[in-house]
């Protein structure tokens, strides 16, 4: 899965674009998938799905094999992507509290206790479905700058379509965060097809063992409602395709003007809903949960393909940079994916929760396809976009990412020697080939050499006390640069079963 190809990117192309960008900056499309695991695409070794459109971004650009996100859950990770800064710097460490539909809250109170006692896979330990909003304001702080706000300095047209999940207070909707056009839902999930579901066209599969199952199947309302701007609208299509069509609409409206479009798909996050013809595509898998999941991924791939085709039709392909990334590792608790060969998944600081598929396609700067195997971060997206658009970064704050193109053109250099993570009491640090996982609640320290043990099976903390001490000090020093504590408390503690071993994690 970790093939190595020569990385050949012509420096001349970079310098030529730099001069042109002063008067004609490129279009930029950022595609974010939701819970798409490391092994969920054909390009990363999956033999059961066909994803030619997404894979094609790497086949014509760069495919990254060690791309890390800043959190193994969606909202904090997306905050890091959108700001180019560790979200821990300003306290956005946990999931924001959504405004729940009252009907949903009634059902939670009625059904939560039986759910709470389940032991399969993952269970909630400490629910906090309510929050004192006069005391806590969860979500991205207004003073933080998003990519869209950065690009408005260059007069980009900006659009956000799909999952927002950066807070559901009116003061920080997409329109207040630099986006001219938005079609979105504010929460962590929503249905792909709302009731009534035409069962002759769509297949639903419930996941009673998943902690999100109750929320996933509520009618769209509150944080799961679809909005255009600030108006709640009715979407009667399959949401994956609706997101693509709204993206195409935005591109058509701005084809003669530089634009930045964020396509934030909710696929393949649960609820598991798929058009029947996509389920029928998956013929080599018998397990229905996995068939629906893989069908959702193939639908996502076709949706991406529709957007790419529109760029070609409009003659915009050569002057558009496309970035594709997942917000965190695959959700193993759904029993639909396993992130192989990585261990663990979403809601863990193991590699399966942090390493994700990542591609960049930009014909104006990438003249030869390549695979890049050094550690990069989702934080780098902000800095790379700033460089490509010739936009200066603000000097009143620290940014944690780097412009990736100089590293791609000189593969002897490494973008990041040190990467760190913190979600309350669950923490990790990666330095070179070494990775340390710390769980303060469980008093656990696990040390791995990723070069020889990418599956994180062998804890070397006892045999390498000096390396353990070194990484603990690195983590301590990094934490001194972050907010002392999160800006709001976690919504819940969860327990993830990883090969029979329990890992606790605060969301």
Query: What does the pLDDT read at residue 13?
Result: 39
| Tens of pLDDT, residues 304-322 | 999 999 999 999 999 999 9
Report the C-alpha gap between 167 and 157 in whole angstroms: 22
268 upstream amide cis, omega within 30 of 0: yes
Q: Which residue from 142, 172, 166, 171 is spatially nearest to 79, judged by alpha carbons?
A: 166
| Tens of pLDDT, residues 110-149 | 554 333 434 444 444 444 455 555 567 788 999 999 999 9
Query: What does the pLDDT read at residue 101?
Result: 57
Q: How remote is the C-alpha of 323 from its chain's centroid?
A: 12
Those residues whose C-beta lies under 8 Å from the C-beta of residue 287, and which sit 6 or more positions away, are: none
Q: Are 35 and 268 in contact (CB under 8 A)?
A: yes
Query: What does the pLDDT read at residue 57?
Result: 98
Per-residue pLDDT of the chain (507 residues), as tens digits, is: 333 222 333 333 333 444 444 458 999 999 999 999 999 999 999 999 999 999 999 999 999 999 999 999 999 999 999 999 999 999 999 998 766 556 655 655 555 433 343 444 444 444 445 555 556 778 899 999 999 999 999 999 999 999 999 988 777 899 999 999 999 999 999 999 999 999 999 999 999 999 899 889 999 998 999 999 999 999 999 999 999 999 999 999 999 999 999 999 999 999 999 999 999 999 999 999 999 999 999 999 999 999 999 999 999 999 999 999 999 999 999 999 999 999 999 999 999 999 999 999 999 999 999 999 999 999 999 999 999 999 999 999 999 999 999 999 988 899 999 999 999 999 999 999 999 999 999 999 999 999 999 999 999 999 999 999 999 999 999 999 999 999 999 988 999 999 999 999 999
Topology at the third CATH level for domain 11-95+143-404: Alkaline Phosphatase, subunit A (3.40.720)
Largest CA distance in the chain: 64
Q: Which long-range contacts (CB under 8 A, 24 or more apart) does 455-460 make?
A: 455/341, 455/342, 455/343, 456/342, 456/343, 456/344, 456/350, 456/351, 457/343
Please compute, for residue 451, the number of CA atoms within 13 A of its CA located in the half-sphere on the CB side.
5
Those residues whose C-beta lies under 8 Å from the C-beta of residue 388, and which sit 6 or more positions away, are: 17, 21, 25, 26, 28, 321, 362, 365, 405
Query: What does the pLDDT read at residue 109?
Result: 55
Apex CA 207: angle with CA 201 and CA 213, to 5°? 100
DSSP string, 104-133: HHHHHHHHHHHHHT--SSEEESS------T
Query: What does the pLDDT read at residue 103?
Result: 62
Dihedral, CA of residue 380, residue 505, residue 337 and residue 454, to nearest 10: 60
Query: What does the pLDDT read at residue 9?
Result: 32
Query: What does the pLDDT read at residue 102?
Result: 60
Tell me the C-alpha to C-alpha distance, in Å, between residue 216 and each of 187, 207, 222, 239: 11, 10, 13, 14
**SS3 at position 89:** helix
Q: Are 51 and 43 in contact (CB under 8 A)?
A: yes
Query: What does the pLDDT read at residue 124?
Result: 44
Bridge-partner residues for 273, per DSSP?
Answer: 204
| Tens of pLDDT, residues 196-239 | 999 999 999 999 999 899 889 999 998 999 999 999 999 999 99
Query: What does the pLDDT read at residue 97?
Result: 76
| Tens of pLDDT, residues 104-121 | 556 555 554 333 434 444
Strands 493-498, 226-228: pairing is unpaired
Sign of CA dihedral 191, 195, 198, 199: positive
Strands 426-431, 418-423: pairing is antiparallel
For the sheet with 434-439, list strands across it.
418-423, 426-431, 434-439, 444-449
Query: What does the pLDDT read at residue 411?
Result: 82
User: What backbone torsions phi and psi does residue 123 show, to the nearest 5 degrees?
Assistant: -145, 150
Domain ranges of the chain: 11-95+143-404
């Amino acid at each position: 899965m970790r093939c190595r190809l020569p990385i050949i990117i012509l420096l001349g192309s970079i310098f030529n674009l730099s001069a042109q960008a002063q008067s004609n900056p490129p279009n930029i499309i950022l595609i974010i998938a939701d819970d798409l695991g490391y092994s969920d695409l054909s390009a990363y070794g999956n033999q059961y799905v066909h994803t030619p459109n997404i894979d094609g971004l790497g086949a014509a650009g760069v495919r990254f094999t060690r791309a890390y996100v800043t959190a193994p859950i969606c909202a904090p990770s997306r905050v890091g992507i959108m700001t180019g800064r560790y979200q821990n710097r300003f306290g956005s460490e946990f999931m924001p509290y959504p405004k729940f539909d009252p009907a949903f809250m009634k059902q939670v109170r009625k059904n939560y206790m039986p759910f709470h006692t389940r032991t399969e896979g993952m269970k909630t330990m400490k629910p906090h479905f309510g929050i004192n909003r006069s005391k806590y304001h969860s979500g991205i702080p207004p003073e933080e700058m998003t990519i869209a706000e950065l690009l408005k300095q260059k007069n980009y047209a900006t659009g956000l379509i799909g999952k927002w999940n950066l807070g559901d207070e009116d003061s920080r909707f997409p329109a207040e965060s630099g986006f001219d056009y938005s079609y979105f839902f504010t929460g962590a999930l929503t249905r792909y097809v709302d009731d009534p579901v035409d069962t002759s066209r769509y297949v639903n599969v419930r996941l009673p063992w998943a902690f999100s199952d109750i929320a996933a199947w509520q009618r769209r309302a509150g944080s799961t409602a679809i909005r255009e701007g600030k108006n709640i609208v009715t979407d009667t299509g399959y949401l994956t395709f609706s997101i693509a069509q709204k993206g195409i609409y935005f591109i058509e409206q701005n084809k003669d003007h530089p634009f930045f479009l964020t396509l934030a798909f909710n696929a393949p996050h649960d609820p598991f809903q798929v058009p029947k013809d996509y389920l029928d595509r998956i013929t080599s898998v018998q397990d229905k949960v996995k068939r629906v999941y893989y069908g959702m991924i193939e639908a996502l791939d076709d949706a991406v393909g529709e957007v790419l085709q529109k760029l070609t039709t409009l003659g915009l392909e050569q002057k558009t940079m496309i970035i594709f990334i997942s917000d965190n590792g695959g959700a193993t608790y759904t029993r639909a994916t396993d992130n192989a060969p990585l261990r663990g998944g979403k809601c863990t600081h193991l590699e399966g929760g942090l390493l994700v598929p990542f591609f960049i396609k930009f014909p104006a700067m990438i003249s030869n396809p390549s695979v890049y195997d050094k550690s990069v971060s989702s934080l780098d997206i902000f800095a790379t976009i700033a460089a490509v658009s010739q936009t200066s970064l603000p000097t009143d704050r620290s940014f944690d990412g780097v412009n990736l193109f100089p590293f791609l053109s000189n593969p002897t250099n490494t973008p990041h020697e040190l990467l760190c993570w913190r979600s309350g009491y669950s923490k990790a640090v990666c330095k070179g080939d070494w990775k340390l996982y710390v769980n303060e609640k469980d008093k656990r320290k696990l040390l791995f050499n990723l070069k020889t043990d990418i599956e994180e099976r062998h804890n070397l903390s006892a045999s390498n006390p000096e390396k353990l001490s070194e990484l603990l000090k690195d983590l301590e020093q990094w934490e001194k640069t972050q907010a002392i504590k999160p800006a709001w408390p976690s919504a819940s503690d969860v327990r993830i079963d990883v090969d029979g071993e329990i890992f606790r994690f605060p969301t």
